[in-house]
């Protein structure tokens, strides 16, 4: 990310300095603002890639830890829990995996792609959790 920012900074500031030498010095603050916004957005995207979700299955309780630095921890009773695998009508969107426990509903695997979501569903089934599918007739 640092290398990409340096590569992008070079032409931005060369163009800004060239325009300021011709008398359009007002371009300098906007070039700095443009570079600052680019750096901030790249930082936020990079930070989002470190998100993780940990699902701990024990005989009596399921613990779901979500986040990066400040993790949110949710404990739910295993015997009251089931998994809802929601597929879209025409397969245009990724399916959603929700864990239901009474009134609580938590989406797990939000940032996973399709093969990983299917693998997560398979692992939860193998762990003994009941899985409900919206399109149960499909493979």
Q: What does the pLDDT look like over 33-51, one tens digit per residue?
A: 999 999 999 999 888 888 8
Domain match, 18 and 81 both: no
Domain match, 118 and 64 both: yes
Contacts 24+ apart (CB under 8 A), 107-112: 108/53, 108/55, 108/64, 109/53, 110/53, 111/51, 111/53
pLDDT at 20: 92
Q: What's the number of domains the chain is made of? A: 2
Mean pLDDT of 89-93: 76
Confidence of residue 7 (pLDDT cuts 50, 70, 90): very high
Domain match, 58 and 12 both: no
Domain match, 42 and 68 both: no
Indicate whether 138 belongs to any domain: no
Helix (H, G, I), strand (E, B) or coil at 86: strand
Domain match, 89 and 117 both: yes
Kindly report the pTM of this predicted structure.
0.68
Range of 28-32, 85-89, 90-94 with top mean pLDDT: 28-32
Closest CA to 74 of 62, 84, 85: 62
Indicate whether 94 belongs to any domain: yes
pLDDT at 139: 63
Domain match, 74 and 19 both: no
Domain match, 58 and 41 both: no
Q: Give residue 34's domain range.
A: 2-48
pLDDT at 39: 94
Give residues with Cβ within 8 angstroms of 53, minimum separation 6.
64, 65, 66, 108, 109, 110, 111
């Amino acid at each position: 990310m640092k290398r990409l920012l340096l590569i992008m900074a070079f032409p931005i500031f060369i163009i800004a300095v060239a325009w300021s030498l011709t008398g359009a010095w007002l371009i300098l603050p906007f070039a700095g603002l443009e570079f600052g916004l680019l750096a901030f957005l790249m930082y936020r995207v990079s930070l989002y890639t470190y998100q993780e979700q940990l699902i701990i299955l024990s005989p009596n309780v399921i613990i779901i830890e979500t986040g990066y630095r400040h993790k949110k921890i949710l404990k739910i009773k295993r015997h009251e829990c089931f998994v809802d695998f929601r597929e879209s009508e025409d397969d245009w969107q990724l399916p959603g995996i929700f864990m239901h426990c009474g009134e609580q509903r938590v989406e797990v695997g939000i940032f996973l792609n399709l093969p990983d979501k299917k693998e997560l569903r398979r692992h939860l089934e193998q762990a003994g959790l009941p899985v409900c599918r919206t399109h149960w007739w499909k493979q």
